[in-house]
Amino acid sequence: MSQGVSMAGSFSFPNTSLNVNRMGYGAMQLAGRDGNKLVWGPPADVKGAIAVLHEAIASGVNHIDTSDFYGPHVTNQIIREALHPYATNLVIVTKVSSRRGQDGSWIPALSREELTAAVHDNLRNLGVDALDVVNLRSMFNVHHPAEGSIEAPLTVLAELQQKGLIRHIGLSNVTPAQIAEGRRIVPIVCVQNQYNLAHRADDALVADLAREGIAYVPFFPLGGFTPLQSGTLSAVASRLDATPMQVALAWLLHRSPNILVIPGTSSLNHLRENLKAAELEIPAEELAELDAVSK
Nearest one of 197, 210, 212, 211 to 263, comparing CA atoms: 197
pLDDT mean over 91-101 = 97
pLDDT (tens digit per residue) in 59-84: 999 999 999 999 999 999 999 999 99
Nearest one of 100, 34, 114 to 70, comparing CA atoms: 100
Tell me what the pLDDT averaged over the chain comes to.
95
What's the gap between Cα 100 and its chain centre? 19
CA within 13 Å, CB half, 95 = 27
Lowest-confidence range among 45-49, 231-235, 285-289? 231-235
Residue 37: predicted pLDDT: 94
Residues near 240 by Cβ (< 8 Å), separated by ≥ 6? Answer: 247, 280, 282, 286
For residues 121 and 173, what is the distance between their CA atoms, to the nearest angstrom? 22
Q: Are 26 and 252 in contact (CB under 8 A)?
A: no
CA within 13 Å, CB half, 120 = 7
pLDDT (tens digit per residue) in 6-24: 999 999 999 999 999 999 9
Confidence band for 221, pLDDT divided at 50, 70 and 90? confident
pLDDT mean over 274-289 = 96
Residues near 98 by Cβ (< 8 Å), separated by ≥ 6? Answer: 67, 69, 106, 107, 108, 109, 137, 139
Among this protein's residues, is 216 annotated catalytic? Answer: no
Confidence band for 223, pLDDT divided at 50, 70 and 90? confident
Catalytic site residue from 70, 86, 195, 216 = 70
What's the gap between Cα 241 and its chain centre? 27
Beta-sheet pairing, 106-108 with 188-192: unpaired
- Full-model pTM: 0.96
Residue 83: predicted pLDDT: 98
pLDDT mean over 231-238 = 93
Hey, which bits of 224-271 come out as E strands? Answer: none
- 169 secondary structure, DSSP code: E
pLDDT (tens digit per residue) in 104-159: 999 999 999 999 999 999 999 999 999 999 999 999 998 899 999 999 999 999 99
pLDDT (tens digit per residue) in 145-195: 999 999 999 999 999 999 999 999 999 999 999 999 999 999 999 999 999
Lowest-confidence range among 49-53, 91-95, 153-157, 197-201? 197-201
For residues 16 and 186, what is the distance between their CA atoms, to the nearest angstrom? 14
For residues 43 and 266, what is the distance between their CA atoms, to the nearest angstrom? 9
Nearest one of 153, 149, 91, 79 to 116, comparing CA atoms: 153
Residue 160: predicted pLDDT: 98
Q: To 10 degrees, what angle do helices 74-83 and 112-126 make?
A: 30
Residues near 54 by Cβ (< 8 Å), separated by ≥ 6? Answer: 82, 83
pLDDT at position 228 over 80:
no
CA dist list (Å): 50 to 27, 30, 40, 229, 266:
11, 9, 17, 30, 9
Confidence band for 230, pLDDT divided at 50, 70 and 90? confident
